[in-house]
Amino acid sequence: MALWRAYQRALTVHPWKVQVLTAGSLMGLGDTISQQLVEKRGLRGHQAGRTLIMVSLGCGFVGPVVGGWYRVLDRLIPGTTKVDALKKMLLDQGGFAPCFLGCFLPLVGALNGLSAQDNWAKLRRDYPDALVTNYYVSADAAAACSPVFLSLEVPRDGGPPPARETPQLGSGLLCS
């Protein structure tokens, strides 16, 4: 808990730096987990260069771009109500996510040494699946974090909304 409080203090004092470092750390951790648990490479087979590329992408691209986008989004939709959150999510997923993926995937390809022609072919092949997967993950995150959004029925008599089961991960808007 003390570590979390220290992180929150650092985020308050240096939001930009902490967001960038957090993005890099999470991307490096994600790549390490992928190599060790999914690909089962073991410590000797771990591709440290690949992990460093992911850390660099997190610190040099993902953190600054996503952090900057969220600042813009907060200016475009300055509220904190549930409706404002829904508007932000729709703008984020409908506008930003497709553009971000269209930049991120070729950047990864370039850093992996793909030629422009191979990179374009890979983008055309992988982009649709990456975007759909993004929507699955986003819908599941929204369902897990805010079940209220899934209940769009508004009672007309002023009473409580109808009872619904709490959604489980995997039951997001696009997963049903």
DSSP one-letter string for 15-65: HHHHHHHHHHHHHHHHHHHIIIIIS--HHHH--HHHHHHHHHHIIIIIHHH
Q: Taking each helix axis from N to C terminus, what angle separates 48-57 and 97-111, rounded to the nearest 10 degrees?
A: 140
Angstrom CA distances, 117 to 34, 101, 110, 155, stand at 27, 18, 11, 55
In whole angstroms, what is the distance from residue 71 CA to residue 65 CA? 10
Confidence class for position 173, pLDDT limits 50, 70, 90: very low
Percentage of the chain modeled with pLDDT above 70: 82
Which residues are CB-neighbours of 144 under 8 A, at least 6 positions away?
167, 169
Tell me the whole-structure pTM to 2 decimals: 0.74
Do 56 and 95 touch, CB atoms closer than 8 A? no
Provide DSSP, 106-127.
HHHHHHTT--HHHHHHHHHHHH
In whole angstroms, what is the distance from residue 126 CA to residue 104 CA? 12
How big is the CA angle at 61 (ends 122 and 18), to the nearest 5 degrees? 145
In whole angstroms, what is the distance from residue 27 CA to residue 18 CA? 14
10-47 pLDDT, tens digit per residue, is 999 999 999 999 999 999 999 999 999 999 999 999 99
* Residue 2: predicted pLDDT: 93
